[in-house]
Structure 1
Amino acid sequence: MVELTAPAPRVPARAAARTRLNALITRVGVGSVTGFIGTSTAGVAVSRGLIAALMGAAGRMPRGASVVQVRDGGVVGEWVYGAGVDRRSETAVLYLHGSAYMMCSPGTHRSFVARLSAVLGLPCFVPDYRLAPEHRFPAAADDVDAAWQWMLDRGYEPENLIVAGDSAGGHLTGAFVLNRAADGEPGPAAAVLLSPVVDLTFGLSAQQERRRRDPMITAAAARRLVDLYTRDADLSDRRLALDYHAAADAPPMLIQAGGAEMLSADSRHFASQVSAYGGRADLEVWPGQMHVFQALPRLTPDADAALLRIRDFVADALATSTAIPNENEGVA
């Protein structure tokens, strides 16, 4: 169990032996079959069941955590509270789960989000956004917008909110904060992207794959899954192809990725583009780690270490955000 008050460690310089072994086991066990799972109705069901089983095996619900289900009009999801977290907190996290726009749910990510909530000391709302192939683009993006507005309608101020997400949820997070900045709309105090998908064509991943095979899945197989969501969509739409031109006006962002995953290339690209356009993107690539390793505490101690670094980043961002006077304050 993560020690909530422990100092955040540095990102390790090299992968531990246990990390390398787990990546090898995953490649032999999981990675050897994911490329053969199709995108038929049966294939989708198998993919969903497989990832749910993996998430359940790799982490457990922390003691003292609690969940409150939400079904309010078009907004469906759940509040997750780590042990001791104040449900009346004026600060909260909007957490967008992965993966591939076609599987997972608040339930698959519940134990991970509970750990994150406890480390941050903040309640987390996880929307149950609609999935492909039943619901294609822009269903998921629309549901994220609705969840954000729902939180504002309940009294949360943008400067007291954090938006975070993993994998496809990282893509949703990046698009959300960049587009709000471009539109001149108030955004969150900060964003956290864990192993984000950035290039939905998986071209960056394919290039990375030529240097090192991802333990979990190939770029081609991952693209087939995401295509269930983007099929017939205009891939130049700014909610799919990220637009970095307003990055200077976006909140600070922390990006964490595993060194063994193909999406480390996406994370590097995202960070470099945000920085090139004047924004702040703190990039951490953890040597030897797999996709969304932060959710796998039974496989690696780096899962907890990474959460401590997220804790410090979020705390600094919130302190900075709330210290900046509201420019509309005092205006009649």
Structure 2
Amino acid sequence: MSAFNLTASSPPTFILNGIPGLETAHIWISIPFSLFYVISLVGNFTVLFVVSKEQTLHKPMYLLLCMLALTDIGMSTCVVPKALCIFWFGFKTITVDGCLTQMFFLYMFAVTHSAILVTMGFDRYVAICDPLRYATILTNARIAKLGLVGLIRAVLLVLPVPLLLRKLPFCANPLILHTYCEYVAVLKISCGNTSINQTYGRVITIVNIGLDLTFIVLTYGLIIRAVLRISFKKAHWKALNTCTAHICVMLMTYTPFLFSALTQRLHPGITSHIHILLTNLYFLVPPMLNSIIYGVKTKELRNKVGKYTCRM
């Protein structure tokens, strides 16, 4: 089989197939895609606008919420516009550079998103377990530094992904069976040895999801232990209620990813269109719901949003 190498001076293009097996339903599938994307943009930009305008919201928790909103906007924007171009206009081609760029920013935003969730867990731990020192431990400057560390970690982890892919030979006229340049889908059309790429992909999963989830679980273990030491039951509920928004966002983020990863490995016979829909949901549903969850569960933010809504 003929092949081309990505190091060539004039690299050819890839073809994104969309959702194989459901081509006739692409127009109908585009409706929830576009709806989720619009809701995500409106919700997250509303959070950014309200927090930036309200001086009383210039606190560590809301700074973290703004970081989360930015990564949500970034993740969904990396996926949805190109998917809608495929669904609506049949624009399936993407340059090699465009594909690798999309992949880099998509996974960079995802890894940063996970780091922010870890920082949010630490924020809740300090707020419940050491409330008297909260203002001195978690300042806005310190939160900004933690966010920068999360971003740098994401860049360092994800940057080798496109660099390693660029060294691979790919089959002529390669067809990517996906709506975006998903890492595994791109590896499947390579004519070369992808063992290094596959190993590094597992390393990213372990470092990003494995370590981050472990840290979050340990954090909530310490929170639950501290809450159980409180003698009043009302205090139990009040303390845990401050964590519900973060728990909901965390479940919305990690559950689709883990479910997709497990079904792909434990049930390799699962139809491709189901797996593709699941991976797309990971970049569609959490960005749409995160701002809604925090808007509903956080009274102070809810009141400020209501104030600006009433002015319109």
Relative to the length of structure 2, the TM-score reads 0.33
Name the structure with the higher strand share: 1
- Give the number of the structure whose alpha-carbon radius of gyration is greater: 2
Relative to the length of structure 1, the TM-score reads 0.32
